[in-house]
Amino acid sequence: MDVSAVARNLSTLGSAKWDLHIRARALARAGHPIIELTIGEPDEPMAPVLVPTMSRALDAGRVGYSNGRGEAALLEALADRYTARRGRTFSTQNFLAFPGTQTALYALMRGLVNPGDEVVVFDPCYATYEGLVVSAGARLVTAPLRPDAGFSIDFEALNAVITPQTRAILLNNPHNPAGSLLDEDACQRLGELALRRGLWLICDEVYEDLIYDNRPLVSPLNNPALDSHVVSCASISKSHAAPGLRSGWVVGSEDVIDRLVPFAETMLFGNQPFIADATAAALRDAGETAARMRVSLRRRAQMVTAALDRVSGLRVAEPRAGMFALVGVGETALGLDGRGFATRLLEHAGVAVMPGTSFGRVTRDWLRLSLTVPDEVLQTACNRIADFCA
């Protein structure tokens, strides 16, 4: 018996994009001195409030069934958090709990997009986005970002790929892998486009707390006039250094959230109450974990720029948010694209990075370096990269 067409279409869109990361882990297990700069797993300890809150919840027996929308305390914490941050009022009816941003995005894609629709994704994009679109039976269409303008949106290119079949634009802000941010002008133009063409703006905002200068996030969600066109999602994976807890949410208009609840119940039939309790506590804490990460990640981004930019033909696109830095290798004398460079860098210098081809065509000649290692390890990795080029 064969698997479904969806499963077949996803066969090259999962771990295949992470093959160098998997290979690096195997080399490390075999005793090779590998420096791993592939994935964005925080090196900051998990937010202190999480473990004791979960422990108390477990002691209290908070392991029963939840409801399809989410635990009351979590929904209240989300409503308070977004109301305080976004310049408008949110209620508990604007939220739907999920185990992580990836699950939330899957639910949004299946709940808002029909088979045969087109979904525009910016290039480069996070490696799982193509799989999310394909899993909905939709067609992924890419619109290139502009590397020479800080990986900002090229609206001429974006408008050129919008067709009558376009259903949604999937927007990652702050952006992974580029670490760029949406500005007010681009946000307004996206909103106008969504209204004019009848599109959904699906916003992945998981890095909101990791904007280095801690400025408020510019987002289409902040504009009530776009309520019938915007949904957003996030989680505590990055903000509270807890990716393994898998605790996230969707935020949108009451109408769309109400209509997505049955879909969420079909997927999950409720989240884990003890994790919901911990997430609610985390959303109300002082944010010290994210604050420390903002400082360390910004410092490390500057380290990478100082160590590698214009060294031996390398080019660094210094990020403004998030856990990664992009390094262009197209101007080196090695004649290698990002994948060839990353492969040989792992083999000859013991540094594991993600090739830009894992994120799109625009970053074919780029590498993505994770900033989630101690400063001295990152500096050693940069030295090895510079020596490898030389």
Show me where the domains of the chain are located: 5-45+288-389, 50-283
Prior bond to 52 cis, omega within 30?
A: no
Q: Above 80 in pLDDT, residue 343?
A: yes
Residue 153 has a pLDDT of 98
Contact 114, 139 (CB under 8 A): no
Question: Within 10 Å of residue 281's Cβ, how many Cβ atoms?
Answer: 21
Q: How far apart are CA 144 and CA 222, in angstroms?
A: 25
Rounded average pLDDT over 148-158: 97
Q: Do domains 5-45+288-389 and 50-283 have the same CATH topology?
A: no
pLDDT band at 288 (very low <50, low <70, confident <90, very high): very high
Question: Within 10 Å of residue 207's Cβ, how many Cβ atoms?
Answer: 27
pLDDT tens track for 204-247: 999 999 999 999 999 999 999 999 999 999 999 999 999 999 99
Residue 15 has a pLDDT of 62
| Sign of the dihedral through C-alpha 194, 171, 80, 91 | positive
| Sign of the dihedral through C-alpha 296, 320, 358, 173 | positive
Prior bond to 147 cis, omega within 30?
A: no
Residue 285 has a pLDDT of 96
pLDDT band at 8 (very low <50, low <70, confident <90, very high): confident
Share of the chain above pLDDT 90, in %: 91
Say if domain 50-283 classifies as CATH 3.40.640.10: yes
Classified as helix, coil or strand, 26 is helix
Contact 124, 360 (CB under 8 A): yes
Residue 150 has a pLDDT of 96
Q: How far apart are CA 167 and CA 159, in angstroms?
A: 13
Question: Within 10 Å of residue 161's Cβ, how many Cβ atoms?
Answer: 14
**Lowest-confidence pick of 10-24, 140-154, 368-382:** 10-24
Record the pTM: 0.96
pLDDT tens track for 114-146: 999 999 999 999 989 999 999 999 999 999 999
Task: Look at residues 345, 335, 336 and name the one whose alpha carbon lies nearest to residue 384.
Answer: 345
Q: Above 80 in pLDDT, residue 13?
A: no
Query: Class assignment of domain 5-45+288-389?
Result: alpha beta
Q: Above 70 in pLDDT, residue 21?
A: yes
Share of the chain above pLDDT 70, in %: 98
| Mean pLDDT, the chain, whole residue set | 95
Residue 304 has a pLDDT of 98
Classified as helix, coil or strand, 78 is helix
